[in-house]
Chains A and B, each alone.
Chain A
Amino acid sequence: MLSRLLAALRRRTRKWARKRHGIDPDPVILSPRRIYIVPSALGIAFTLMLFAMFLGAMNYANNLALGLTFVLGALSLTAMHYCHRNLAGLQLRSASSEPVFAGQVARFGIALENGAKLARHELVIANEHGDARPVRVESGGRVVLNLEVPAPQRGLLALDSFELSTRHPFGLFRAWAYLNMELSCVVYPKPSPRGLPPPPQETDTGGAQDMTRGDEDFAGLRAFHPGDPPRRIAWKAYAREQGLHVKVYAGTAVTSHSFDWESLPGLGTEARLSQLCRWVEDAYAAGRAFGLRLPGVEIAANVGPGHRQRCLTALALFDERAAHD
C-alpha cells in the first residue's frame, strides 16, 4: 500500500520535473539548479544523534563536547555541498543502444563525462526498472552506463525519464537530478515460433543480380564483406598477405527468398510481422539472400547484417494505417 503510494508520488514528481526542465538536449550538462538534495534516512538519524549530543553537551555545560557536536554538524553541511557538487557540471551523452526484439530488455547507453578537475564518486543511474552499479568517473574520464528498460512491444521504445543520483561522501545526503533525454531504441517484432515454412526460393530475375554470371566459372576476387560464405574466401590470396578476399564466380543463378506481407493472409498485423521477422532471421542465419515486401515498403533481395537490420527496422516501424493511406 505504502509502496504503491510512494511509486505514485514518484511518478508525479517525475512528471512535474519533466514539465519544469523540458526535454534535455544531447549532450546535457547538469546545472546546479536542477539538482535536488535531501537528507537520507541515515542523514536524519545523524541529525537526531547530533541533537542528542547537543542536549547532553548543553546539560553538562561541556564545551568540548559541544565543540565536537558543532564540528560534526558543520561537517555534515560540508558533506551536503560535496554531495551536490558531485553531480553539478557533469555531462551526460547518449551512447549507442542496440536494437532488441520485443520481449527482451533494451539497454540504453548513457555516457557520463566528467570535464572537471576532480573525480566524481558513487554515481548511480536509475529508472523505475532498476539501477546500475555506482561508478566513479575520473577527472576527464568517461564511463558508459546501461539503463535497462523492458521492451514488450515492437516499435520505437522511448527512454522515459531517469535519475542520476549520488550519496557521496557519507551517505547522509542524497542528491539527484531528473533527466529527460529523447532517446529511443528500435524494438523488432518478436520472431514467431518456427512453424510456417518460408516461401520457396526463387531465381532472381530483378536487376540486383547479373544474369550473365554463373556458378561455375571463376570470375575474379573481390574484397571480403561480413556475411560472405567462408568457403568462398580466397585463402591462398590471404596467405600471400593480399588481404581477405572472396572468389566470385560467373554464371551463377542467384536465388533468393522474397518475404511478402501479402503471402500471409488470415493473420493479424502483429502475427504477420512476427512471421516475417522469423523468416528474415532464419534466412540471415543461413546466409541466404532475401527481400522484403510490405505494404508501402519494398526492400530488394540482398545479404549481410546491414540488410538484415534494414529489414527488421522496417518490420519494427511498420505502421499499417500509414501504409493504407
Chain B
Amino acid sequence: MISASVSAKASVRALAAKPWPPTLQRLVWVIGGLTLSVLPHVPHIRAWVLLLAAGAAALRIATEVKHWELLAKWLRSVLAFVALLAVLLDYRTLNGIDAGTALLVVMAGMKLLETRTVRDLTVIVFLSYFALFAAFLYNQSLLRLPYMLVAAWILTVTLMRIHQTTTAMSVREAVAITGRMFLQALPLAVLLFLLFPRLPGQFWSVVPARGEAMTGLSDEMSPGDVSDLSISSELAFRAKFIGPLPPPAERYWRGPVLHDFDGRTWRRASSPFRPQEVTTRGPIYEYDVMLEAHQRRWVFALDVPTRWPERRTVRASDLQLWSEQPISTLSSFHLESATGYRVNEPLPNLMRVTDLRLPEGRNERSLALAREMRERAGSDEAFIAAVLAKFRDEQYFYTLQPPRLELNSIDDFLFNTRRGFCEHFASAFTVLARAAGIPARVVTGYQGGEYNPLSGYLLVRQSEAHAWSEVWLGGRGWVRVDPTAAVAPDRIERGIEAALAEGGETLPGTFLRQSAFLTQLRLAWDATNTFWNNQVVAFGEEQQRWLLERLNLGDDWQQLGIALVLALISFFVAMSLYLGWRFRPRGKDALAQIYDQLCRKLARRGLPRAAHEGPSDYVARVLQARPDLAPHLVETRNLYVALRYGPRSWGPQLNNSALSRLKFLVNQLKV
C-alpha cells in the first residue's frame, strides 16, 4: 500500500500540467471532504482506523491514476468484514459515539475502495456529513464552529461538483452558488432550531464518549487524584447567582461524598442511607449552575442544596445531588442552597457504623496518635481543634507536588513526608477523627470560583477541585471541617494560586491570570463563551418556553406546531419569490429601451412599426404620413442607427453622450 501511494504521488505530479480527468477530480474532491470531516476526530479515534481509511484513499487514487482495476468484489467484502470485526474487537461494542465514529470512518474507507459511480461518491459525501455531525457530539465549543461550518460548506460544494457532468462550472461558481444557498437556508434552520420541540430525556442509553470521560472528579479519591486535576485550567462549571454571591470562604461546591476507606483510597458508600431531616442556617442562595459535560451523574451544588429540580435530580442522604441522566452535554440546573445546616435527628446507626469504620491493621501509628490526642483533648470539639492546630503549627506543607506515599498512606503522610495537597489533609483528618470515635466522611468537590464581571458568572475550574471533611458532632449534626484551611488559609480565602504562591509553586497558565489586560481578554472571551453555552449549546425546553412566552405564543405545543408550519410556508414563499426574481428575464439594453419607447409613441398615433420593418424603413414610412416630424425623426434615426449598427470604436464616453442625446430627442418628440 505504501508503494502504491508513492507512485500515486509521482503520477499526480505528472498530471499537474494538464487538467485532471473529471473522474479523478471528483474523487479528489470527495476524499478531501472526507478528510476535512474526519480531522476533528483525530484526537480521540484510534490510529489504525485513520491509517486504514488513509490507505484506502491512497489506493483508490492510485487505482484511478494508473487505470488499475478496482479490487475484486469478494476481496472488498472480506476487507469490509474484517474492518467491522476489528472495530468490534477493539471497542467491544458498535454502540455509542466512539465505536460509531470509528465504524463510520472505517466504512467510508471501505466504500471508497468500490466507488465507481456518482452515486457511490455521493454516499461518501453523506458519510462525511455524518462524521461532521459526530464531531459535534464530542465538542460543541464556539472555537470549533467556524471550522465545522466551512467544512459543511466544502462538503456541499463537493456534492454539487460530483453531480456536475458538464465541465462548464468553475470551482468559484460552485462555491458561490452553495454559499448563497447556505445563507438562504440559514433563516429556516434557525427557526427550526428555535421552534422544534425539545424532548427531555433520551431515547436510548448513551455510552459516554471516551474523549470526555477523563476530566473532572471521580467517585474515588486516592492521594494525588485531586492534585492531578488541579493542573487543568479547564472549566468545570459556571454558576450565576440571583442576588448576592456567597463570600469566597463559603464557596464549597459539594461533589461525591466518600465514606469507605481501604487505607489508601476513599470510595462512595456501598449501601444507601436513610435521608435525614435538615434545617439550614444563614442566607439562602438562589443560582443556576451550568455543568460542562463530565459523563457522571452528580451535580455540583453549593454546600447544601435546599431546592432542586425534582424531575431531573435527587438529593442523596449525604446531601449530594444526583442527576437522573449522566451529564453528557452542557446542562443547566436551577438550585437553591444554604452554606450552613444542622441535622436534628440522631445519626442513623448504619451511617455511624460506616463513618467510623477503618481498615484493620493499617496506619497503626496514626490511630494511636488519634486516641492519645482525644484523651488529652477531653471533648470532640477540642480534639478537632487540636488536630487542626497540629496541621497549622507543626511542619506541614501545602503543595501541588506531594511525594509518593507508602502503603500506610496516613502514617507516611503524618509522620514522614508531611507535604500534601487537600486530599492528603482531608484524608488524614478524617481518619484521625474516626480513630477518635467521631463519625467522619470525606467530601470532594470544588472550592472557590472566579467571578466574571462581564457575564456575571462565577467560573469554577478543575484546578479548584478540593476535598474536605465533615464530622458528626453530637447536638450539632454534621459540621464541615477543612483541614486545608488550617495549613494554607490562603487556599480558601484567596484561591489556589495564592496558596501555592506562598510555597513558590505556580499552576500552569498562572502568568495569563496575572496580566490585567490578558485577564480582561480572557474574561471577555469567557463571557462570549458563556453566552454561546447558555443561549445555543444549552438551549432546551426551559429556554424554549421562555422564548415562546416572549413571543406571546404561550407554551402550548400546538402553537409551536403552528409556528413551525408557518415558518416552513414563509420559507417556501420567500424562496419562490426570491428565485423568481433572480431568474427574471434579462432586461433589454438602454438603446433598445429607448427605441421601444419611440415605437410606442408613434404607435399611439396610429403608426405602429410592422414586424419586418427596420428603423430606416419605419421612419421613412412615418415621415410619409407626418412630414412635419422630419427634422426631429431624421436625427433620431441617424443616431439610433449609428449607435446600434455603427462601429464600437467610438468609445464609451461618446457613446454615452450620443445615448443621452437620443434619449432627449425621444422624450422631446411631440406627436
The finding on whether chains A and B are genuine partners in a shared complex, rather than unrelated, reads yes
With A61-B198, A63-B538, A169-B163 known, 11 other A-B pairs at CB within 8 A are: A57-B133, A59-B202, A60-B137, A61-B331, A63-B140, A68-B136, A70-B193, A74-B188, A75-B181, A81-B575, A167-B163
A:32-73 near B, CB below 8 Å:
41-42, 45-46, 49, 52-53, 55-73
A residues neighboring B (CB under 8 Å)? 41-42, 45-46, 49, 52-53, 55-75, 77-79, 81-82, 85, 88-89, 115-118, 121-122, 133-136, 139-140, 167-171
B329 in the interface (beta carbon within 8 A): yes
B285 in the interface (beta carbon within 8 A): no
Report which of A64, A73, A133, A140 forms a contact with B536, defined as CB distance below 8 A: A64
- B130, B133, B169: which has the most chain A beta carbons within 10 Å? B133
State whether A74 touches B186 (Cβ < 8 A): yes
Q: Which of B225-233, B576-584, B590-598 is near enough to bind chain A?
A: B576-584
Q: Report the minimum CB–CB distance from A118 to chain B (whole Å).
A: 5
B:165-204 near A, CB below 8 Å:
165-166, 168-169, 177-178, 181-182, 184-186, 188-189, 192-193, 196, 198-199, 202-204
Separation of A60 and B212 alpha carbons in the complex (Å)? 14
Annotate B525-550 by CB proximity to A: 1 below 8 A, 0 otherwise: 00000000000111110000000000
Q: In the assembled complex, which residues on chain B have CB atoms less than 8 Å from the CB atom of A71?
A: 152, 182, 185-186, 189
Report which of A45, A66, A75 forms a contact with B156, defined as CB distance below 8 A: A75
Q: In the assembled complex, which residues on chain A have CB atoms less than 8 Å from the CB atom of B160?
A: 169-170
B residues neighboring A (CB under 8 Å)? 97, 118-119, 122-123, 126, 129-130, 132-133, 136-137, 140, 145, 148, 152, 156, 159-160, 162-166, 168-169, 177-178, 181-182, 184-186, 188-189, 192-193, 196, 198-199, 202-204, 206, 328-329, 331, 536-540, 571-572, 575-576, 579-580, 582-586
Report which of A64, A81, A122 forms a contact with B579, defined as CB distance below 8 A: A81
Q: In the assembled complex, which residues on chain A have CB atoms less than 8 Å from the CB atom of B130?
A: 49, 52-53
Residue of A nearest to B206 (CB): A60
Q: Report the minimum CB–CB distance from A44 to chain B (whole Å).
A: 12
State whether A79 touches B586 (Cβ < 8 A): no
Residue of B nearest to A45 (CB): B126
Assuming A46-B126, A85-B583, is B166 touching A65 (CB within 8 A)?
Answer: no
Residue of A nearest to B585 (CB): A115
Q: Report the minimum CB–CB distance from B640 to chain A (whole Å).
A: 22
Q: Could you name 30 residue pairs across A and B whose Cβ atoms are closer than 8 Å? A: A42-B119, A42-B122, A45-B122, A45-B123, A49-B130, A56-B133, A60-B137, A62-B137, A62-B329, A63-B193, A64-B145, A64-B148, A65-B137, A68-B148, A68-B152, A70-B192, A71-B152, A71-B189, A73-B192, A75-B182, A81-B576, A82-B579, A89-B583, A117-B582, A117-B584, A121-B166, A134-B166, A140-B586, A168-B163, A169-B178
State whether A66 touches B193 (Cβ < 8 A): yes
Separation of A72 and B193 alpha carbons in the complex (Å)? 12
Q: Report the minimum CB–CB distance from B347 to chain A (whole Å).
A: 39
State whether B163 touches A170 (Cβ < 8 A): yes
Q: Report the minimum CB–CB distance from B180 to chain A (whole Å).
A: 9
Residue of A nearest to B541 (CB): A61
State whether B140 touches A62 (Cβ < 8 A): yes
Report which of A46, A61, A70 forms a contact with B329, defined as CB distance below 8 A: A61
Separation of A116 and B169 alpha carbons in the complex (Å)? 17
Assuming A63-B140, A117-B584, is B185 touching A75 (CB within 8 A)?
Answer: yes
State whether B136 touches A136 (Cβ < 8 A): no
Q: Report the minimum CB–CB distance from A90 to chain B (whole Å).
A: 9
Report which of B123, B168, B203, B572 forms a contact with A58, defined as CB distance below 8 A: B203
State whether A67 touches B193 (Cβ < 8 A): yes
Q: In the assembled complex, which residues on chain B have CB atoms less than 8 Å from the CB atom of A41?
A: 119
Separation of A121 and B160 alpha carbons in the complex (Å)? 11
State whether B181 touches A77 (Cβ < 8 A): no
Residue of A nearest to B583 (CB): A116
Q: In the assembled complex, which residues on chain B have CB atoms less than 8 Å from the CB atom of A122?
A: 163-166
Q: In the assembled complex, which residues on chain B have CB atoms less than 8 Å from the CB atom of A61?
A: 198, 202, 328-329, 331, 540
Q: In the assembled complex, which residues on chain B have CB atoms less than 8 Å from the CB atom of A77?
A: 185, 188, 571-572, 575
Q: In the assembled complex, which residues on chain A have CB atoms less than 8 Å from the CB atom of B186?
A: 71, 74
Q: In the assembled complex, which residues on chain A have CB atoms less than 8 Å from the CB atom of B199?
A: 58
Q: Report the minimum CB–CB distance from B7 to chain A (whole Å).
A: 33
State whether A64 touches B165 (Cβ < 8 A): no
Residue of A nearest to B135 (CB): A65
Q: Report the minimum CB–CB distance from B418 to chain A (whole Å).
A: 47
Q: In the assembled complex, which residues on chain A have CB atoms less than 8 Å from the CB atom of B539?
A: 63
Q: Report the minimum CB–CB distance from B124 to chain A (whole Å).
A: 12
